[in-house]
Amino acid sequence: MTAEEIARRSADAMWAEDRASQGLGMRIVSVGPGRATLEMTVRDDMVNGHAIGHGGLTFTLADSAFAFACNSYNRSTVAAAADIRFLAPTRLGDVLVAEAVERERTGHDGVYDVTVRCGDVVVAEFVGRSKEIRGTLFEEGQ
């Protein structure tokens, strides 16, 4: 199986159980070894009291892209830490695209950069630190 096929099968296995990302209307745009792109449209139930997209939901989109990127090797991996910088507000109807890219992976630890955009505007920058745990997402011989 190629690295691209492993990444796709890992994403499919995760997506099947990811009720949070599905419930927020996220969509997987692409996945590959150490990378993933997801998108989400800001709905009316995602707008806060300032009439802008809730930052926690922008964080959640970035975190989901990070999760698909760091699990793309068929090794069960979780977040060890994450931080985000909000650079621009989002609005009702905006389509947010989160692109996660592996910066470094050594042993059981990884660092991933996630850029969240609305069109050409960067609305947030997220850095996630991952930790591999025991297990895989699917049986590779099947």
Per-residue confidence at 15, pLDDT binned at 50, 70, 90?
very high
Mean pLDDT of 77-82: 97
Asked whether residue 141 carries a pLDDT value surpassing 80, the answer given is no
Asked whether residue 36 carries a pLDDT value surpassing 70, the answer given is yes
Q: What is the CA radius of gyration of the chain?
A: 15
Q: Hey, how many other C-beta atoms are within 10 angstroms of the C-beta on 92?
A: 14
Under a CB-based contact definition with an 8 Å cutoff, are residues 72 and 32 in contact? yes
Q: Where are the domains of the chain?
A: 3-132
Asked whether residue 104 carries a pLDDT value surpassing 90, the answer given is yes
What's the rounded Cα separation, in Å, for the pair 113 and 129?
9
Per-residue confidence at 43, pLDDT binned at 50, 70, 90?
very high
Tens digit of pLDDT for each residue in 21-33? 999 999 999 999 9
Strand, helix or coil for residue 119: coil
**pTM greater than the 0.85 cutoff:** yes
- Write down the pLDDT at residue 142: 62
Under a CB-based contact definition with an 8 Å cutoff, are residues 125 and 137 in contact? no
More confident residue, 66 or 139: 66
- Write down the pLDDT at residue 136: 94
Under a CB-based contact definition with an 8 Å cutoff, are residues 109 and 129 in contact? yes
The CATH number of 3-132 is 3.10.129.10
